[in-house]
Amino acid sequence: MLLARDAARARQLVERYPGARTLVGDLADPDRLSWAFSKQPVPEQIDSLLHIAGIVDLGPVGELRPKTWHQQLNVNLIAPAEVTRLLLPTLRASRATVVFVNSGAGLTAHAEWSAYAASKHGLKALADSLRAEEKPHGIRVTSVYPGRTASPMQAKVHSQEGKEYDPAHWIDPESVATTIVMAVDLPRDAEVNDLSVRPGR
The tens place of each residue's pLDDT in the chain, 201 residues long, gives 899 999 999 999 999 999 889 999 999 999 999 999 999 999 999 999 999 999 999 999 999 999 999 999 999 999 999 999 999 999 999 999 999 999 999 999 999 999 999 999 999 999 999 999 999 999 999 999 998 888 888 889 899 898 999 888 889 989 999 999 999 999 999 999 999 998 886
Selected catalytic residue, list 17, 116, 145, 165: 116
| Residue 201 pLDDT | 65
Which are the contacts of 174, defined by CB distance < 8 A and separation ≥ 6? none
CB count, 10 Å around CB of 91? 24
Same domain, 133 and 165: yes
Same domain, 127 and 182: yes
Same domain, 38 and 101: no
CB 168 within 8 A of CB 199: no
**Full domain range(s) for residue 63:** 47-197
Same domain, 180 and 122: yes
CATH number at residue 145: 3.40.50.720
| Residue 82 pLDDT | 98
Same domain, 80 and 28: no
Is 17 labeled as catalytic in the residue annotation?
no
Same domain, 171 and 82: yes
Q: Residue 5 burial by CB count (10 A; 0-12/13-18/19+): exposed, middle or buried? A: middle
Same domain, 53 and 36: no
Number of domains in the chain: 2
| Residue 153 pLDDT | 84
CB 145 within 8 A of CB 107: yes
